[in-house]
Amino acid sequence: NAGVMQNPRHLVRRRGQEARLRCSPMKGHSHVYWYRQLPEEGLKFMVYLQKENIIDESGMPKERFSAEFPKEGPSILRIQQVVRGDSAAYFCASSPLFGLAETQYFGPGTRLLVL
């Protein structure tokens, strides 16, 4: 059973460009979470999605950031008009349908560097 997959693993963008980060959850998992880790800091929750629904985006910056988890295909975290402060590691996690003490399993992350 493959784990959570993220691509690309590394992404370089110039200021003003768009960044698209993809996350494929573990097989059978229908809940996806995105976290951001700025350099030398801990992981911070960004958004929680289920298929075709955003459940909680309270951790997302108000502008330029959006996320989706379509019925088919991976979850996408989109950053428009990137700035240098967006440089970070972005981690995706997935969990199965809610059950007793559900656990989130993380992918390897996408390292975004904005020049």
Partner 1 sequence: DAKTTQPPSMDCAEGRAANLPCNHSTISGNEYVYWYRQIHSQGPQYIIHGLKNNETNEMASLIITEDRKSSTLILPHATLRDTAVYYCIVRVPNSNSGYALNFGKGTSLLVTP
Q: Are 25 and 33 spatial neighbours (Cβ–Cβ below 8 Å)?
A: no
Q: Are 44 and 99 spatial neighbours (Cβ–Cβ below 8 Å)?
A: no
Sequence-ordered list of residues with C-beta below 8 angstroms from that of 42, at least 6 positions apart, any chain: none
Smaller CB separation from partner 1, 2 or 101: 101
Tokens 């693993």, located at residue: 9
> Which region, judged by CB under 8 A, interacts with partner 1, from 12-20, 60-68, 71-79, 90-98?
90-98
35 binds partner 1 (CB under 8 A): yes
CA 33 to chain CA mean position, Å: 6
- Which amino acid belongs to residue 42? G
25 binds partner 1 (CB under 8 A): no
Closest by Cα among 4, 14, 113 to 69 = 4
Out of 91, 94, 112, 114, name the contact with partner 1 by CB under 8 A.
91
Query: In the bound complex, what is the minimum distance in angstroms from residue 69's beta carbon to partner 1?
Result: 14
69 binds partner 1 (CB under 8 A): no
109 binds partner 1 (CB under 8 A): yes
Binding site for partner 1 (CB under 8 A): 4, 31, 33, 35, 42-45, 48, 55-56, 58-59, 89, 91, 93, 95, 98-109
